[in-house]
Amino acid sequence: MSIETISLSGRKKEVSNKKMTFLESLYLVAIFKGLFITIRHLFKRKVTIKYPEQTRELSPVYRGQHMLMRDEEGKERCTACGLCALSCPAEAITMKADERKPDEKHLYREEKYASIYEINMLRCIFCGLCEEACPKQAIYLTKSKVMVKSNTNREDFIFGKDKLVMPLDQAMRNTQLKAVN
């Protein structure tokens, strides 16, 4: 079996040390072939994207930054069960559970809530397993195109509830939209 039939691409060439003919040893033909190949690339479409002006198109299954959802009445859905932290392969999520006080009923849906909920954005791999694990549909990976900003301080990459929880007015707007529809 020759090497051409084995190779998957079919382009593999067996190395040979055969003596070059006179025409080959002048290299002229080979050089002109090479020049022709490079000049063809001059007219090819360039793949470079001029980044700050143009951005690459995102994939339809793109997963952006996380968001802790609120329900229709604007209460936080999260009950601090810890399943997201358990499912997280990068161990990026930490939380601290607390019991809901009677006067906090309008803030949290369940009797238990997360008083601290932190995602380390340096560890997170945006796999979306937390979203899948959540029994309360509380954590979602949004389609937001805002990337995590670069920073010189590691602590700044730990996103707390101030950055993660959905803003209240957005939750209310969603409820209104749902009512209209």
Partner 1 sequence: MDQAIIIEKSVIIISVFALTMLMAMYSTLAERKIAAWLQDRIGPNRAGKGGILQPLADGLKLFAKEEFTPNTQNKFLFVTGPAISMSMALMTSAVIPWGDKLHLFGRDIILQATDIDVAILYVFGVLSVGVYGIMIGGWASNNKFSLMSAMRAASQMISYEVAMGMSIIALVMMTQTLSLKEIAEQQSGMNWNVFYQPVGFLIFLVCSFAETNRTPFDLAECEAELIGGYHTEYSSMRMGFYLFAEYASMFISSTILAVLYFGAYNYPGMDWMEQNVGVNIANVIGMFALFAKLCFFIFFYMWVRWTIPRFRYDQLMRLGWKMLIPLSIANIIITAIVLLLHDKAI
Query: Taking the complex as a whole, how short is the minimal distance between the CB of residue 13 and partner 1, in angstroms?
Result: 18
127 is in an annotated binding site: yes
Residues within window 4-63 making contact with partner 1, judged by CB under 8 A: 31, 34-35, 37-39, 41-42, 44-48, 50
CB atoms within 10 A of CB 93: 21
Query: Sheet of 93-99: strands edge to edge?
Result: 93-99, 112-120, 158-159
Amino acid at 9: S
130 is in an annotated binding site: yes
**Residue 81 marked ligand-binding:** yes
Q: Please give the Cα distance from 29 to 99 (Å, whole number).
A: 82
**Token representation of residue 88:** 């997280």
Rounded Cα distance between 85 and 94, Å, is 6
Q: Which of residues 118-177 bind partner 1 (CB under 8 A)?
A: none
List interacting residues with partner 1 (CB under 8 A).
Answer: 31, 34-35, 37-39, 41-42, 44-48, 50
Annotated binding-site positions for [4Fe-4S] cluster: 78, 81, 84, 88, 124, 127, 130, 134
Annotated binding-site positions: 78, 81, 84, 88, 124, 127, 130, 134
